[in-house]
């Protein structure tokens, strides 16, 4: 059996990108070191800041919340119920239990109850990929909750593989505006809170292992609406390279931050956006309605659409495999979290 690189105890994981194996104790040390390095190098936040951490119930966000509180940061969780059938129901239960077991403060916002729509219905009325209206809704709710709650920074569990996949997609299209904004920390600006991604130096395998060794229960199943999305395709492409050349993903993303991002950076000197006339959030032109309120208006005006009706054939099959046939057509879109 392989031994830990640090102490020669039996290893629990092999990490080819480090060309090493680690026991649980030294894997935890490695993760804490990489987390601290990201926070410090990119000046994300300090122990003086009030942090709002977005938690989905997946491995990354719960690992991040665990890291934050055990490293001495003041971090309150924010969970958004997206109304994605059993997946959302299970996510809510997991996040609630995580917070309760550790006596942590959790803010919950439910799209259907609080804003009159859910992600499957939004996907249907916009006729766009579900991740589009999901991302728009989450960003709006993160920003609003941070502003109303007086938080200094919003942090999310995007990991190294997530960021590398986004970078890969942006580079394929040479989308310079998106490349410019792909930073691990974005400063507060025009009413939007500071945003940070403290897991950018850690892979998703490392985060999953963190949850196992720390005894964190998380939703292992994939979001049914994200199955087969473009982000997955980019991850698969990078995984092929990583398998034959371990460390390539980290070199690609961290090398971009170090050597390419400074070359394309420029100061954005735009005017402050006018407030949305519906919700007051920073929006755009004077007397305009923000994209979130427009979405809520459209999706809230139709009957709720159950998640299975907006899944492709493959994703629907996976959804039944994961949650059972009883998950089909059980929801009317009102009960999801």
Partner 1 sequence: MRGGRVAHRVLEDLGLAPAGHLIIRNGTLVPSDTMLDDDDVIEIRPVVSGG
Q: Could you list the residues that contact partner 1 (CB under 8 A)?
A: 1-2, 11-14, 16, 21, 24, 58-60, 131, 158, 161-162, 165-166, 204-205, 207-209, 212-213, 220, 222-223, 226-227, 229, 231-232, 235, 239, 242-243
Whole-number minimum distance, CB 241 to partner 1, in Å? Answer: 11
Token pair for residue 16? Answer: 């080819």
Residue 57 contacts by C-beta under 8 Å, 6 or more apart in sequence? 79, 90, 91, 92, 94, 95, 218, 219
Q: What are the Cα distances from residue 181, in Å, to 141, 170, 184, 257, 320? A: 20, 11, 9, 11, 38
For partner 1, the closer CB: 90 or 162: 162
Strand order in the sheet with 153-155: 106-110, 74-81, 50-54, 153-155, 194-196, 185-186
Closer residue to partner 1 (CB): 114 or 236: 236
* Nearer of residues 179 and 209 to partner 1, judged by Cβ: 209
Minimum CB distance to partner 1 smaller for 11 or for 67: 11
Query: Smallest distance, Å, CB 277 to partner 1?
Result: 32
Strands 74-81 and 106-110: parallel
Q: In which element (H, E) is residue 144 found?
A: helix 130-149
Q: What count of other Cβ atoms lies within 10 Å of the Cβ of residue 70?
A: 13
* Least gap, CB of 40 to partner 1 (angstroms): 25
DSSP state at residue 71: T
Asked if residues 222 and 231 have their Cβ atoms less than 8 Å apart, the reply is: no
Tell me the closest approach of the beta carbon of residue 211 to partner 1, in angstroms.
9
Nearer to partner 1, 199 or 296 (CB): 199
Shortest distance in whole angstroms from residue 73 CB to partner 1: 23
Residue 279 beta carbon to partner 1: minimum distance, rounded to whole angstroms: 26
Please say which residue, 21 or 121, places its beta carbon nearer to partner 1.
21
Inter-residue contact 310 to 225 (CB < 8 Å): yes
């Amino acid at each position: 059996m392989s031994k830990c690189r640090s102490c020669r105890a039996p290893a629990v994981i092999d990490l080819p990108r480090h060309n090493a194996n680690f026991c649980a104790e030294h894997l935890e040390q490695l993760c804490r070191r990489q987390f601290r390095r990201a926070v410090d190098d990119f000046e994300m936040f300090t122990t003086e800041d009030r942090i709002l951490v977005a938690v989905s119930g997946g491995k990354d966000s719960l690992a991040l919340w665990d890291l934050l509180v055990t490293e001495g940061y003041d971090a309150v969780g924010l969970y958004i119920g997206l109304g994605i059938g059993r997946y959302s129901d299970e996510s809510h239960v997991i996040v609630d239990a995580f917070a309760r077991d550790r006596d942590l403060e959790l803010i919950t916002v439910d799209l259907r109850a609080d804003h009159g729509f859910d992600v499957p219905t939004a996907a249907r009325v916009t006729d766009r990929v579900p991740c589009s209206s999901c991302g728009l809704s989450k960003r709006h709710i993160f920003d609003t909750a941070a502003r109303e709650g007086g938080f200094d920074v919003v942090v999310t569990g995007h990991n190294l593989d997530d960021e590398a996949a986004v970078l890969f997609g942006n580079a394929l299209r040479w989308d310079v505006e998106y490349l410019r904004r792909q930073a691990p920390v974005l400063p507060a600006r025009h009413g939007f809170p500071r945003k940070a991604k403290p897991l950018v130096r850690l892979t998703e395998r490392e985060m999953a292992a963190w949850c196992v060794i720390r005894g964190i229960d998380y939703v292992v199943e994939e979001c049914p609406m994200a199955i087969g999305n473009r982000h997955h395709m980019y991850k698969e492409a990078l995984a092929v390279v990583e398998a034959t050349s371990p460390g390539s993903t980290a070199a690609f993303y961290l090398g971009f931050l170090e050597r390419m991002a400074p070359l394309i950076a420029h100061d954005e000197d735009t005017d402050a956006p006018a407030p949305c006339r519906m919700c007051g959030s920073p929006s755009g032109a004077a007397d305009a309605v923000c994209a979130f309120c427009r979405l809520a208006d459209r999706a809230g005006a139709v009957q709720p659409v159950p998640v299975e009706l907006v899944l492709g054939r493959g994703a629907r099959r996976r959804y039944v495999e994961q949650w059972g046939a009883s998950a089909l057509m059980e929801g009317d879109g009102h009960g999801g979290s």
